[in-house]
């Protein structure tokens, strides 16, 4: 029954004396909607950075579809099907929405290194980009520059770029970050509308999104896994409450 697409075994990371990831064992089941939650500074983004190759681990293993990717670089992991979004938008601000998405699609299709044929001759890129944008109601914004768009729509483009990579594993780092909760419905809809053959790991603070999207939750505290399980189990757990209650008190 278990079909892990991503496995993390004994992963740890130190910066000198500072340990940001502590012996993490983690499994992502194929097709899952898996949420990663935890207080600020728990190391959630660090974890994503370790999985995607932005950071090299100090020890441990990462397996994608059973293959060891621990030593591979970012670009190679991306080509093997891992895509991620960033907590703070990492977009190509001076370019149009269409170009932002086209970049990811061209790279995936392996034609981004083509030097002597015009981009316009690859109509499949534009077609696919417009299709994707259409799914997110961004078609009318296709030719607008990123920095002309309201933040909420930029956040959607952030996701569309990752989808242009046609990943098998999509890591969403706080997709609703910076968006007022009144507008986060779009993000929620986007997350729910993702194709079922894509495996999703979502980091989120917004508990509404977490509990409506996730079928499995891992709680990370101080770089280590505290507990993981189905949403009802996590919601009822005393330790989780304490961690978040502690955080709520601090606010």
Partner 1 sequence: MTPDAEARSYFSRRSRLKWWEGLPWILAVATFFVLPDYMAFGTQVLITIIFALSLDLVVGFAGIVTLGHAAYFGVGAYTAGMVSAHLGWTEPISALLLAGFVAAIVGFITGAVLLRYHGLTLLMLTLATAICLQEFANVNEDVTGGFDGLTGVSFAPLLGLFEYDLWGHTYYWYSMGVLFLVFVVVRIMVNSPFGLSLVGIRENSARMHAIGTPVYRRLVTVYAVSAGIAGLAGGLFAESNAYVTLDVLSFARSGTILIILILGGVGRLYGAFAGAVAYLVLEDELAKMSPEFWEFGVGLLLVLTVMFARGGLLGIFDRLRKLFSRATP
List 9, 63, 103, 235, residue binding partner 1 (CB under 8 A): 103
Instruction: Please name the residue that has the structure tokens 């697409």.
Output: 5
* Residue 108 is a binding residue for partner 1 (CB under 8 A): yes
Cα 229 to Cα 220: distance, rounded to the nearest angstrom: 12
d(CA 202, CA 83): 12
Can residue 250 be called a binding residue for partner 1 (CB under 8 A)? Answer: no
Minimum gap (Å) between residue 75 Cβ and partner 1? 5
Q: According to the binding rule CB under 8 A, does residue 147 interact with partner 1?
A: no
Rg over alpha carbons for the chain, rounded to the nearest Å, is: 19
Stretch that binds partner 1, among 6-14, 55-63, 71-79, 242-250 (CB under 8 A): 71-79
Give 158 or 206: the residue with its C-beta nearer to partner 1.
158
Nearest residue to 203 (alpha-carbon basis) of 33, 50, 9, 19: 33
Q: For strands 169-173 and 82-84, give the pairing.
A: parallel
Does 135 engage in binding with partner 1 (CB under 8 A)?
no
CA distance 155 to 87: 9
- N-terminal to C-terminal alpha carbon distance within the chain: 42
Tell me which of 56, 75, 236, 245 binds partner 1, using CB under 8 A: 75
Residue 12: count of CB within 10 angstroms of its CB: 17
Exactly one of 35, 47, 51, 86 binds partner 1 (CB under 8 A); that residue is 86
Where on the chain is the footprint of partner 1 (CB under 8 A)?
A: 52, 54, 74-76, 78-79, 83-84, 86, 90-96, 98-99, 102-104, 106-108, 111-120, 122-123, 125-127, 130, 139-140, 142-143, 161-162, 164-165
């Amino acid at each position: 029954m278990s079909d892990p697409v991503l496995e993390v075994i004994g992963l740890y990371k130190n910066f000198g004396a500072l340990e940001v990831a502590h012996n993490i064992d983690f499994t992502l089941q194929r097709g899952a909607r898996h949420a990663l939650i935890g207080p600020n500074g728990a190391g959630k983004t660090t974890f994503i950075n370790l999985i995607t190759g932005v950071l090299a681990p100090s020890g441990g293993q990462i397996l994608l579809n059973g293959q060891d990717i621990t030593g591979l670089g970012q670009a190679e992991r991306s080509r093997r099907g891992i895509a991620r979004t960033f907590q703070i938008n990492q977009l190509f601000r001076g370019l149009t929405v269409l170009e932002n998405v086209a970049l990811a699609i061209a790279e995936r299709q392996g034609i981004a290194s083509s030097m002597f044929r015009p981009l316009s001759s690859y109509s499949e890129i534009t077609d696919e980009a417009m299709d994707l944008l259409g799914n997110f109601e961004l078609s009318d914004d296709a030719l607008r520059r990123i920095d002309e768009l309201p933040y909420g729509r930029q956040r959607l483009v952030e996701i569309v770029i990752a989808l242009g990579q046609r990943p098998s594993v999509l890591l969403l780092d706080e997709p609703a970050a910076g968006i007022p909760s009144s507008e986060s419905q779009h993000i929620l809809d986007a997350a729910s509308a993702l194709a079922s053959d894509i495996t999703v790991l979502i980091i989120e603070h917004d508990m509404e999104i977490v509990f409506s999207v996730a079928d499995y939750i891992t709680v990370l505290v101080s770089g280590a896994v505290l507990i993981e399980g189905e949403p009802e189990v996590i919601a009822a757990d005393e330790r989780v409450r304490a961690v978040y209650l502690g955080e709520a008190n601090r606010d």
